[in-house]
Amino acid sequence: MILLKLLWRIKLQIQAVRGFRDVLPGEVALWHKVEEIARSVLERYGFREIRIPILEKTELFSRSIGESTDIVEKEMYTFTDRSGISLTMRPEATAGILRAYIEHSLFQLEPVSKLYCIGPMFRHERPQKGRYRQFHQINAEVLGSSDPRTDAELLALLRTLFEELGLGELDFQLNSLGCPRCRPGFRSKVAEYLGSKKAHLCSDCQRRLMTNPLRVYDCKVATCKEALAGAPVILDELCQECGAHFLSVQKNLSLLGVPFSVNPFIVRGLDYYRRTTFEVVSSDLGAQNAVCGGGRYDGLIGELGGPDLPGIGFAIGEERLVSILQGRAGVPSFSLDLFLAALGEEATEKAFFYLDKARRLGLKAEMDLRGGSLKAQMRRANKLGSRRLLILGEDELSRGVATVKDMDGGTQVEIPLEELESAMAGWKEACSQRG
């Protein structure tokens, strides 16, 4: 078998692009679970889904993310189309959501808009554990509210989501990046401090020192982390309004019982963040341990040509989330509600008819159209995890019945064919109640 796989791989030649991966049927069940729970929680908190294009004009990301960020400088998939327009495959969702929000004047429909989207993003970065060049995110944005309770509400939503996914051991880390009034002074202090540590910085951070020294706080290189040991802390430089906002966020998180810690070194990799920033980290992921990150971006909507409205949001990395869930609970097994086993051409034709009826009634049903012995078809039913096995052979047809076996309990009954459709409807109702 191993030799056959090697020969097939040699023959195949064409493989997935590096950093892009296939999500195979067994794993997809876990993705469905994550997205189903995410949609349920988000809509419970008043969010509505929006679907945005994968391709956007490059200018959208350079204006919103920041031209000096690693994403814009090195990581975007950008190309020029036949019309000479520079296009980029979206590296994140916030910019595209805000573009749609402005373009369609959604701010005129609701004073506060809550939007979410789920889908793929693209960055040309070095693939590593839990990170790919095509990756998937669950994004949520609240547009139009500057109230610190909105920040707390968003983190409470994440607490609910992760609890319902069965993840109760995550660390909610919180920081404030200030605003255009208090950040320039902090940035100058950082540049001065890091200038004296330049020799200890990686080549990327030495470049960042000239363009955006705050990016150094986001570096994962060990020597850069060591250089930051005595660096200035943004929380010491907040203006009165930013300080009051940050204290109110913490107060409201405590009111809602959301556990958190303050981490003054959280910067995030995007230039548009102001005031509240946060990450949710897991001990199951090693160095790249953030499963969710986000923050407030007041002013960005106005910079993109919309009204001067505040905003806050988050992005959850689905690959990382699925990785944690796989490690804790494994991949959900695929199971059928009904498998139909038929013996003989006439019985196969009848079973094929009832197979369609079962599916139209809402049951997950299957049969092996290749035929085979009853024993072989029962093995197939077991492999697919079917809850019931329906057997139709010449004897059953002559008596106008079907034999139905409960695969869990081992009991079996005969059901008249004229009553089979109503019986299948009852099975569907039982499956729905069981969840």
Domain presence at residue 259: yes
Number of domains in the chain: 2
The CATH code of the domain that includes 87 is 3.30.930.10
Residue where a domain stops, chosen among 296, 329, 362 = 329
Pair 285, 377 in one domain = no
**Distance from C-alpha of 48 to C-alpha of 277, rounded to nearest angstrom:** 23
Pair 42, 133 in one domain = yes
The pLDDT profile of the chain, 435 residues, written as one tens digit per residue, is: 565 565 555 566 778 888 888 888 888 888 999 999 999 999 999 999 999 999 999 988 887 665 555 555 668 888 898 999 999 999 999 999 999 999 999 999 999 999 999 999 998 877 566 578 889 999 999 999 999 999 999 999 999 999 898 886 788 999 998 888 887 788 788 777 777 777 777 877 777 777 777 777 777 777 877 777 777 888 888 889 999 999 999 999 999 999 999 988 887 656 678 899 999 987 665 555 778 999 999 989 998 999 999 999 999 999 888 888 887 666 566 678 999 999 999 999 999 999 999 999 999 999 998 888 999 999 999 888 899 999 999 999 999 999 999 988 888 999 999 999 999 998 887 766 555
Residue where a domain stops, chosen among 303, 329, 355 = 329
Pair 345, 315 in one domain = no
- Structural domain including 272 reads 18-182+238-329
Pair 28, 176 in one domain = yes
Q: Is 384 exposed, middle or buried (0-12, 13-18, 19+ CB in 10 A)?
A: middle
Pair 408, 310 in one domain = no
Pair 350, 313 in one domain = no
